[in-house]
Amino acid sequence: MDVRLAPVSVFFMAYIISFAMMSCSRIVVKMFYELLNFDGSHSANVFIYGAKEAGVNIAKALRVNLRNHYRLRGFIADEPELINKVMMGVKVFPNDETLIDVLNDRDVHTIIISPAKMEELKRSDMADRLLAHNIKLMTAPPLSEWSGQTLNRTQLKEIQIEDLLQRNPIEIDIHKVASHLEGKRVMITGAAGSIGSEIMRQVASFNPYKLILVDQAETPLHDIRLELQDRWRDIDAETIIADISNATRMEEIFKEYKPQYIFHAAAYKHVPMMEDNVSESIQINVYGTRTIADLAVKYGAEKFVMISTDKAVNPTNVMGCSKRICEIYVQSLAKKLQQKGGHVTQFITTRFGNVLGSNGSVIPRFRDQIQRGGPVTVTHPEIIRYFMTIPEACRLVLEAGSMGNGGEIYIFDMGKPVKIVDLAKRMISLSGRTDVKIEFTGLRHGEKLYEELLNVKELTKPTYHEKIMIATVREYDYDEVKERIQKLIDVSYTYDQMKIVSAMKDIVPEFISKNSCFEALDKKPD
């Protein structure tokens, strides 16, 4: 009997076909199971704002892998050519005064914002109109950030107030900044704070030779150390606990590490706290800054970039005045060094307003109050503030540091000011809660209704970056400034608050106290 074995290729093909049929059967069974179990009762009716490619991609994702959670009922468009078209079986509606009625008619309480429409949303009153009618707003990431070209449910996030306040990303001269930081020993004071830690992250991306991170807050600095170990293992970094007003300790650090580039972000910043702790504002903000600046000169640092604040302009509180005194010292020192000539440390000051989400700032506080059910406390119905994101502010700090030649005070374009009560209302609406009240508590000690980036006597000069200007300010004689600041520091150790503030006003005559016991010092004798 002639028995012939089948070729190996037959067995191989049979295996492939069997495997494919088994896989297909499992997929079909799963699809039927999902179809049988999907009744739509738990899915949310949604509109998508944006009917072009980005919006259509979101719609396809909803239909394919998120249909158990969302049911597409329509698109919203601004483009006349798209309005009233039918796409993917649903109509495209205009973004006009009829939109709320359209949403109500279709029982839609959620709108997903296409990434391409976020800027339009921020510029218009659309978000406020929708939030006023309890419409939930959600965002989806760009297609490039989807997981394997698939949109996961977790990637759809409710819009936060930061999303509505953010501006277009600020571009900086990466190559110029890199040329200043790459291969350098970079010190950051206040490295565990909101600004200092973000400066650290951005500097780390420019491949410095060494990072010297100084802060007196142990736990946050430990967190920074862990972050460095996780994200930048190749960077040589020292995390150092130190008080910048301890001159002996700081000199040890400078002697050992000899920083070439210094970002000075360490400071006390909370206005009401410094009104009650005047001596600390002088010993940390003023004496600490003088200590770091003098050591920068002594140990040959190339640049010293100080973080200042808009509260230093026409100060009405102790904190703002202390920072103005820091500016005066740094500027007068820069002028003195330039007069001497030779290779000297370049001193740069950057001045900007509030940053979104910084430790202890208004947005995290409002969010916490809303979560607790309120009330949300606003000091005054007319109070306004400028806001900037932390990464945006730090990018501008790096840019200003690279462009400065010494002695400049750079101010940043902070955009339009925001009324704080409107900010509170928006955050309450975004939370979806209707039971949270706003309570006005009155201006705090030393608080202004609005902040300024420039003194009325100051002018600005443009730079090559449209978001950065140079303030032309009064110049001071270094020897006189040094003597008066030393007297102020000496007085601070008496812990007599009235005497300390009086000495501050002698240095900064435009310091006029507001809502404070120190107003008595501003009264002229009859």
Same domain, 153 and 201: no
Q: With the C-alpha atoms ordered 361, 366, 369, 374, is the resulting torsion angle positive or negative?
A: positive
Query: 317 is in which domain, residue-wise?
Result: 174-520
Same domain, 196 and 280: yes
Same domain, 99 and 180: no
Number of Cβ atoms within 10 Å of the Cβ of 441: 10
Last residue of a domain, one of 128, 159, 190: 159
> Is 182 within the bounds of a domain?
yes
Last residue of a domain, one of 159, 189, 209: 159
The count of residues in the chain is 526
> Is 1 within the bounds of a domain?
no
Same domain, 190 and 49: no
> Is 164 within the bounds of a domain?
no
Given a contact cutoff of 8 angstroms between Cβ atoms, the answer to whether 420 and 357 are in contact is no
Q: What is the mean pLDDT of each run of 10 residues along the chain (526 residues)?
A: 54 62 57 45 85 91 82 94 94 94 95 91 87 89 76 82 75 87 97 95 95 97 95 94 98 98 96 96 98 98 95 94 98 93 88 78 90 94 87 90 90 85 90 90 87 65 87 91 98 98 97 93 73
Question: What pLDDT score does 448 carry?
Answer: 84
Same domain, 82 and 182: no
Same domain, 144 and 187: no
> Is 375 within the bounds of a domain?
yes
Catalytic residue (choose from 303, 311, 323, 425): 311
Same domain, 492 and 427: yes
Same domain, 74 and 132: yes
d(CA 466, CA 464): 6
Q: What is the dihedral of CA 27, 29, 33, 36, to 10 degrees?
A: 120
For 147-154, the CB contacts below 8 A with 24+ separation are 150/61, 150/64, 150/65, 151/57, 151/58, 151/61, 151/62, 151/65, 151/66, 152/65, 153/66, 153/69
Same domain, 155 and 181: no
> Is 28 within the bounds of a domain?
no
Which of 177, 264, 285, 286 has the alpha carbon at shortest distance from 212?
A: 264
> Is 211 within the bounds of a domain?
yes
Same domain, 151 and 191: no
Which position has the token pair 């640049």? 303
Which position has the token pair 């079909």? 28
Could you give the angle at the alpha carbon of 408 between the alpha carbons of 403 and 414, nearest 5°? 80
User: Distances in Å between the alpha carbon of 106 and those of 36, 100, 264?
Assistant: 25, 10, 56
Tokens standing for residue 293: 């600046």
Same domain, 146 and 212: no
Last residue of a domain, one of 159, 183, 216: 159
Domains held by the chain: number: 2
DSSP state of 307: E
Same domain, 90 and 121: yes
Q: Where are the alpha helices (DSSP H) in 239-374?
A: 247-257, 271-276, 278-280, 287-298, 318-340, 362-371
Question: Starting at the edge strand that comes first in sequence, how are the strands of the sheet with 86-87 ordered?
Answer: 86-87, 90-94, 70-77, 44-49, 110-113, 136-139, 157-158
What pLDDT digit, counting tens, does each position of 320-376 carry? Answer: 999 999 999 999 999 999 998 877 899 999 998 888 777 778 888 999 999 999 999
> Is 8 within the bounds of a domain?
no
Question: What pLDDT score does 457 carry?
Answer: 54
What pTM was estimated for this model as a whole? 0.80
Orientation angle between helical segments 318-340 and 287-298, nearest 10 degrees? 20
Whether residue 340 lies in the annotated active site: no
CATH number of the domain bearing residue 248 = 3.40.50.720
> Is 38 within the bounds of a domain?
no
User: Distances in Å between the alpha carbon of 483 and those of 248, 320, 330, 334, 488?
Assistant: 21, 21, 14, 16, 9
- 215 forms bridges with which residues in the sheet? 241
